[in-house]
A and B are shown apart, each in its own frame.
Chain A
Amino acid sequence: MADSPADRAPHDDPATDAVPPADPVAERRRAVRQAISISIATGLYGISFGALAVAAGLTVLQTQALSVLMFTGGSQFAFVGVIGAGGGGVAAAATAALLGARNALYGAVMAPRLGVHGPRRLLAAHLTIDESTAVATAQRDPDAGRAGFWWAGAGVFVLWNAFTLAGALVGNALGDPSRWGLDAAAGAAFLGLLWPRLASRSARLVAAGAIVVALALTPVTPAGVPVLAAALVAVAVGWRAPSPGGTAGAPDAPPGGPAPAAGGAS
């Protein structure tokens, strides 16, 4: 707020700049607008989560509990995916927790920007997801960034839960999941969450390796284990720093910390 033009200079980009940079009110309004549109887009696919969760065998109440309490879309889809494939509760919870590991990085990025303590920090932690972090970090103005975080977090929470309930009720009414192609919809949902994360070459390498590992283990290990084991592919590839020659022109990690994929997993 009240930045001097010199403070802003490094961020100025005439090509993408429709709003005068020195107007914090306009910046804030723009952040809130972005937050609302992302909330609607993300909330809507709560319908598919609700329907897939009951198709996997959860009750409407259990489905709703995941959206209220877990509130991180990728982990929720993974949880019901493992249950639907016959995996046990421990494997389902462990897969969900691992898939939610990136939220810790988002928390580390957001904490200094939000500067909240006590109950507000507990609430901020719950609302720390791809979308709220993406909207916040896309703002140049710190105040607009905070507004974007809270509006996107709260907006996604309300709509994601409302559409989860709608989807669960629809899924309950449909009956046999495979007759309606809901089992195929689950694969498509995971592909949709994966798609925006495949930009780098090492991500595509990990994705291919993970599919091979998971399918190779499916006949010989209990359900749920193949997906968890595939995470080791990521550790194996990610442990080694990308060699400067090998990935020139295709940086794996953008500077400035993790980059959430907006519109991807919540």
Chain B
Amino acid sequence: MTPLQTWLAVLGGAAACYLTKLVGHRVPSHWLTDPRVARISGLVTVALLAALVGVQTFTHGSALTVDARLVALGVAAVALALRAPFIVVVVLAAVVAAVLRAVT
């Protein structure tokens, strides 16, 4: 992407996110608190985050791969299960991957 295209994406994405928040404040609340809308919205968040976990961990370009990132993700999952703070989980995963790459 050119720098201009990146800037357009940054500003366009930011505008879309702000308008989404504003819509919530402006429309009659019963439109959005419909159980199906609330349910799907919550699950869309789960689906996108899960897909991003998968893509960030198992892909390289358009190829599926298994490498140090999988071990790092496993360590992150254990840290999350032990209720470690977010920043600790992220740093731990980076350290595990960096160390594995340095020694292999």
Contacts and interface: CB of A to CB of B under 8 A. Distances in A.
Contacts of A81: 52, 55-56
Interface of B: 1, 3, 5-18, 20-27, 29, 31-33, 35-59, 61-64, 68-69, 72-73, 76-77, 80, 85-87, 89-99, 101
Nearest to B22: A125
Contacts of B35: 241, 253
Interface of A: 41, 44-45, 47-48, 57-59, 62, 65-66, 69-72, 74-75, 77-79, 81, 83-86, 88-90, 92-112, 121-122, 124-126, 128, 178-195, 197-198, 202-203, 206-211, 213-215, 218-219, 223, 226-227, 230-235, 237-239, 241, 252-253, 257-258, 263, 265
Contacts, number: 338
Contact of B91 (A84, A92, A185, A206): A185
A215 B94 contact: no
A262 B25 CA distance: 20
Nearest to B33: A257
A65 B14 contact: yes
5 contacts: A83-B6, A103-B17, A103-B21, A125-B24, A207-B50
A106 B42 CA distance: 11
Query: Chain B binding site: helix, strand, loop or mixed by DSSP?
Result: helix
Contacts of B51: 210-211, 213-214, 226-227, 230-231
A235 B15 CA distance: 24
Contact of B72 (A41, A47, A65, A181): A181
A266 to B, nearest CB: 10
Contacts of B3: 59
Contact of B6 (A41, A58, A215): A58
